[in-house]
Structure formats: C-alpha cells, structure tokens
Amino acid sequence: MKYQTGKPGRIIVARFEDHEDVLENLVSIAKKEAIRAGVFFLVGGMREGRIVVGPETDSFPPEPVWKTLGQSHEVLGNGTIFWQNDEPKIHFHGAFGKKDMVKVGCLREQSETFLVLEAVLIEIEGITATRELDPVSGMVLLKL
C-alpha cells in the first residue's frame, strides 16, 4: 500500500443542465479551477451513458464488460480527479436506476445529463498523485 495525506481545499457546487456532458463538465471545472486532486459526488439524472460493469474474466489485461444506459436513469455516485500529463482524468463509479432495474459501474463514455445533475467537488490540497498508463493492465491507474 502507498498513500499520501492532504487536507480539504475549495468546495465547488455545480449544476449540470439537461443534455450536458457530465464527464466533460467535470474535466472543464478541474481545468478552469486548476484542481490537481479532488473527490466529487453526483446526484440527479442521466439520459445517456456507457459504463463498465466489471471484467469479462479475472485475467490481465482485463477485458471490460460494457452496458449502455440508453434512457433516463436516476444516478448517485462519486469519484476522483487526478491528472495524467496535462489533462484531468475522471474516475467515477455510480449506481444508475430506472424503475426496478439498477446498474452499478464505472462511467467512461457518453455521459449526458437528464434534466439536472448536481455535483459537489472537494479539492484535496497537498496530494501529488497522478494517473499513469499501467503496461500490465492496460489501464490508467493512480500513481503515488
């Protein structure tokens, strides 16, 4: 295990409007506010999204299993922001519910707000962690 200690910095509250790109908005805030390390919480609705719901098998590199939302869902989730080179990288896991169906996974593509989505971002000061491509897994992972 590796770890660093930090402290909370600025807190940002954002409202994403209908049809706005969730992941793009998170990246935009991180760039504009120069948030190098942070955690965020999301609550609201999404109409589109592609999520990874686990690997096909427990082998390396993992082959992701993809699911598409394809219609409006309630969403509750959280994630982290750390930079890879000159770009903030979002790692977001959430629960996506519609009627009596719930999907849980890692949102990676096609993230579109339905009606409204609220975000609370907390900057973490004193952390120098970054994201780097791991050649074994083929994934962009946290590096401390």
Residue 110, pLDDT score: 85
Mean pLDDT score, 26-33: 98
In a domain? residue 16: yes
In a domain? residue 2: no
pLDDT band at 113, cuts 50/70/90? very high
CATH number at residue 27: 3.30.1330.80
Residue-level length of the chain: 144
Domain encompassing residue 23 = 11-143
Please give the mean pLDDT across all residues of the chain: 96
In a domain? residue 3: no
Quick check: 118 and 14 in contact, CB under 8 A? yes
Catalogue the E-assigned strands of 21-100: 37-55, 64-68, 73-84, 87-98
The domain total for the chain is: 1
Mean pLDDT score, 57-80: 94
Spatial separation of the C-alpha atoms in residues 133 and 144, rounded to whole Å: 13
- Judged against a pLDDT cut of 90, whether residue 136 lies above it is answered with no
Look up the pTM and report it: 0.94
pLDDT band at 129, cuts 50/70/90? very high
In a domain? residue 90: yes
Percent of the chain with pLDDT over 70: 100
pLDDT band at 27, cuts 50/70/90? very high
Residue 138, pLDDT score: 86
In a domain? residue 5: no
Spatial separation of the C-alpha atoms in residues 39 and 93, rounded to whole Å: 12
In a domain? residue 4: no
